[in-house]
Amino acid sequence: MEQPDLSYVDEVLNRYKGHKGTLITVLQQVQAHKGYLEKEALERVARSMGVPTARIYGVVTFYAQFRLTPVGKHLIRVCHGTACHVQNADGLTEAVEGELGLKTGETTPDMLFTVESVACLGCCSLAPVIMVGEKVYGKLSTDKVRKVIKEYQKMEKEVVQ
Amino acid sequence: MKTLRVGYNSCGIAAGAEETLNKLHALLDGNSNFEIKKTGCNGMCYLEPIVDVIENGKIYTYGGLTSDKVEKFIESLEKGKHIDDWIILHPDHSTAQLSYQEKQVKLATKNIGVIDPENIDDYIAAAGYQALEKVLKTMNRQQVIDQVRASGLRGRGGAGFSCGMKWQFAKDAPGEEKYMICNGDEGDPGAFMDRSTLEGDPHGVIEGMTIGAYAVGAQVGFFYVRAEYPLAVKRLRLAIKQAEAKGYSGKNILGTGFNFSLHVIEGAGAFVCGEETALIASIEGKRGMPRTRPPFPATHGIWGKPTNNNNVETYANIPYIIREGGAAFSKYGTDMSKGTKVFALAGKIKRGGMIEVPMGITINEIVNDIGGGIINDGKCKAVQMGGPSGGCIPAHLHDTPIDYEKIMATGAIVGSGGMVFMDQGTCMVDIARYFLSFTVEESCGKCTFCRVGTKRMLEILERITAGEGTEEDIPLLQKLCDSIIKGSLCGLGQTAPNPVLTTLRYFRDEYEAHIREKKCPAKKCKALITYRVVADKCTGCTLCARTCPVGAASGERKQVHQIDDLKCTRCGFCKDACKFDAIVVE
């Protein structure tokens, strides 16, 4: 099997060489490159930092931010904070899942959309909210959230044409 | 010359402040009559985008100023006129929104929404870093701690431990190498005070923390901020750089020989890291799992060295306390809970946002006077305080003054300051289930009772909301609550049963309705409700049939539609889509 290019991992590792307690920061910056942590990258981090791969795997699976599978171009995070929950966040999740034909945690086969649920985005006064990439959409209803998704789908179709 | 201040925190940006700001720049760049500034959020999130107009020392606050209104707004200002209908706070007369501000006392949040958080000169002009200078040049370490103790400030993260005592322990701990932590891992769903503070006034938190570092004798400090708060992280990093450049941070601060370097760490997403020993493990690059205390972090913290940990709001109070003295702070509040507290209002409340009020104010005053009541003029059923560790306080106890001890007596906690309001459409069993599902996800897994016990509780609550509950379920829940409290090491586990205990205590009838009558009084639990078309109201527009994802709603054009109960998944899309309120839940 072909070895992926891991120069981006080395770059991060060099930046933090000799600093104590930087494992999580290193992993965050490695993940920033591809949106997820590939197995080879974790092994490279393990060797370079002198930490067993198992321990790194333990850290990666402990924190919600890290992912071990590729993520779609648009990451849709549906907020399930308390304020959103009492304003029908479950309904938004159902609407988003229905519109994209997937379940939370999954990615569309064309790798365009990944849907996740998050604990709280801290925009409670605009509840219920979702975040697409870095953009927050607030005061949504099941109707409005479908329109947001459709806009992104339309935008992607135009890109293809 | 007019100054326009645009509220530019994440909440404002989500409401459209970016588009408003861009439009203002497009219209006014090069115009010497106007100056545009970005600030944090003044707390009135429910009316964002917000723009302040400052002329001749008077402030006119405009609300709901979306980009489409900007042209008309500027046109009017250029003519020297204001659009009164859009003004939410007027310098010369009272407005309907004034009641949101009247009962507030802003000490920790006084700069938020006023200064530009990305400009240190703005902070300095607002008395910024004066407290630090006073401390470094005129006070010894013990005097600083004495002042903080005199203020009566208690930790604002939730536990409410005396800040001055905590600093004393860290100061008295033997050793030269000491650390400071600012806990910005605001994990409670429904809370956003720390986000708003870090975004709106990062220098205030840096100043407070640096004063603490001087008092305890620490040389290095860590900000631990949630990765979900990218803007807070960005502004904090910028603020640290600016403070270093001006000599307020780093080496030889203000020429006094005091060194204190600050670092920002982004949390990777684990609620339990709000617990201090878990947070320390996370800073060290490990899984964020709590450990037994003692030894406390004050003697054995980061790398085993003495460490002081406070949350964002606690530090944000320090500059005021030092500048004005502990007594100025302690004149607000109750006997045991001094000063002010910042709260985030959310849920079914008309005015959702961030407020700072004196301790001792009642919940009723917050709901009615500040919050403007419940949306759709509904009735407030309960308020949830303290997130997953807290509880639901029913409406009949809303004359309780906010005070650590008095709120605790209701079964909830003051917590970090999230207040989520609930109306008659909120099912209290579902809320308990919701919090338990959160705890199950976030339990680190170390203690068996927390790991397995919360899961069993969740299963019982799922059973009840599905209409499959039995009479034994309530006593079983109570027994599990008791065991989890006794058998868990950290605050997460010990408080996890609180949402269940408080709803059982105050809303037992709702549990019983689910179990005995198989009914959900709030009409929320899917297994216990049906959707029906009201024949008189249905116009046969076919919208529900087109919206229904499973083909349960059907009918001919201009004919009354029906919903097939067997096919219906209770998603509620048809009800949301219907323009004639013709679909009801029973």
Query: What ipTM, to 2 d.p.?
Result: 0.92
3-state helix, strand, coil in chain B (%, to 5): 45, 20, 40
Q: What is the pLDDT of residues B576-585, one digit of tens each?
A: 899 999 999 9
Chain A closest CA to B472's CA: distance in Å? 28
Cβ–Cβ of B282/A25 closer than 8 Å? no
What's the half-sphere exposure (Cβ side, CA atoms, 13 Å) at A137? 20
Chain A closest CA to B271's CA: distance in Å? 9
Contacts of B367 (CB under 8 A, 6+ apart): B349, B373, B374, B380, B383, B398, B421
For residue B547, give the chain A residue with the closest CA. Answer: A143
Please identify among residues 180-209 of chain B the ones whose CB lies closer than 8 Å to any CB of chain A. Answer: 186-192, 195
Cβ–Cβ of B285/A95 closer than 8 Å? no
For residue B224, give the chain A residue with the closest CA. Answer: A25
Q: Which of A132, A28, A94 is nearest to B550 (CA)?
A: A94
CA distance B554 to B566: 13
For residue A83, give the chain B residue with the closest CA. Answer: B347
Contacts of A122 (CB under 8 A, 6+ apart): A81, B10, B186, B191, B192, B195, B226, B228, B229
**For position B315, what pLDDT does the model report?**
98
For residue B445, give the chain A residue with the closest CA. Answer: A62
Cis previous bond, B295, omega within 30 = yes
Domains located in chain B, CATH noted = 2-99 (3.40.30.10), 120-329 (3.40.50.11540), 340-423 (3.10.20.600), 428-517 (1.20.1440.230), 530-585 (3.30.70.20)
Cβ–Cβ of B285/A98 closer than 8 Å? no
Phi-psi region at B214: left, alpha or beta (left = phi > 0; alpha = psi -120 to 50): alpha
What is the DSSP pairing of strand A130-132 with strand A113-118? unpaired
Smallest Cβ–Cβ distance between A143 and the set B227, B287, B577 belongs to B577
**Sign of the C-alpha dihedral, residues B234, B235, B237, B238?**
positive
- Output the CA torsion B548→B549→B554→B560 (10° steps): 0
Q: Is B286 on the interface with A (CB under 8 A)?
A: yes
Cβ burial B191-220 (10 Å sphere, 16+ → b, else e): bbbbbbbbbbbbbbbbbbbbbbbbbbbbeb
Residue B380 β-bridge partners: B423
**For position B234, what pLDDT does the model report?**
96
Under 8 Å between Cβ of B3 and A126: no
Q: Tokens 């930087």 correspond to what residue? A: A22
Q: Output the 3-class SS for B121-165.
A: HHHHHCCCCHHHHHHHHHCCHHHHHHHHHHHCCECCCCCCCEHHH
Q: Read out DSSP for B409-422?
A: HTT---TTSEEEEE
Chain A closest CA to B81's CA: distance in Å? 31
Q: Give the neighbor-by-neighbor strand order of the sheet with B380-385.
A: B353-358, B340-347, B418-423, B380-385, B391-394
Contacts of B344 in chain A (CB under 8 A): 124-125
The residue that leads in pLDDT, A3 or B203, is B203
What is the DSSP pairing of strand A130-132 with strand A74-79? antiparallel
Give the three-state DSSP class for A42: helix
Q: Is B268 on the interface with A (CB under 8 A)?
A: yes
**For position A46, what pLDDT does the model report?**
96
Cβ–Cβ of A120/B187 closer than 8 Å? yes
| Token digits of residue A131 | 């975040």
| Token digits of residue B344 | 């985030």
Cβ–Cβ of A83/B11 closer than 8 Å? no
Smallest Cβ–Cβ distance between A23 and the set B15, B230, B285 belongs to B285
Where helices occur in B221-305 by DSSP H, the ranges are: 230-245, 276-283
Query: If you ran DSSP here, which 8-state letter would residue B299 be given?
Result: T
Cβ–Cβ of A95/B14 closer than 8 Å? no
Where helices occur in B152-201 by DSSP H, the ranges are: 163-172, 193-200
Cβ–Cβ of A122/B192 closer than 8 Å? yes
Cβ–Cβ of A63/B268 closer than 8 Å? yes
Q: Tokens 């890291």 correspond to what residue? A: B273
| Token digits of residue A45 | 């981090």
Contacts of B228 (CB under 8 A, 6+ apart): A118, A120, A121, A122, B269
Q: Which residues of chain B have pLDDT under 50?
A: none
Question: Which of B9, B11, B461 should be substituted to probe chain A, the one whose Cβ sees the most A Cβ atoms within 10 Å?
Answer: B11
Smallest Cβ–Cβ distance between B266 and the set A28, A80, A119 belongs to A28
| Token digits of residue B523 | 């009409």
Q: How far is CA B301 from CA B282, B295, B304, B409, in A?
A: 12, 9, 5, 32
**Size (chain B), residues:** 586
Question: Which of A125, A136, A143 should be substituted to probe chain B, the one whose Cβ sees the most B Cβ atoms within 10 Å?
Answer: A125
Contacts of A14 (CB under 8 A, 6+ apart): none
Q: Tokens 């033997």 correspond to what residue? A: B174
> What's CA B94's distance to the chain center, in Å?
28
Contacts of B378 in chain A (CB under 8 A): none
**For position A4, what pLDDT does the model report?**
86
**For position B103, what pLDDT does the model report?**
95
**For position A31, what pLDDT does the model report?**
96
The residue that leads in pLDDT, B173 or A2, is B173
- In the structure, what pLDDT confidence band is assigned to residue A1 with cuts at 50, 70 and 90? low
Contacts of A100 in chain B (CB under 8 A): none
**For position B94, what pLDDT does the model report?**
95
Under 8 Å between Cβ of B64 and B17: no
> What's CA A41's distance to the chain center, in Å?
18
pTM of the model: 0.94
Cβ–Cβ of B190/A143 closer than 8 Å? no
- CA-based Rg of chain A, rounded to a whole angstrom? 18
Instruction: Assess whether pLDDT exceeds 90 at residue A89.
Output: yes
Under 8 Å between Cβ of B425 and B575: no
Chain A closest CA to B13's CA: distance in Å? 8
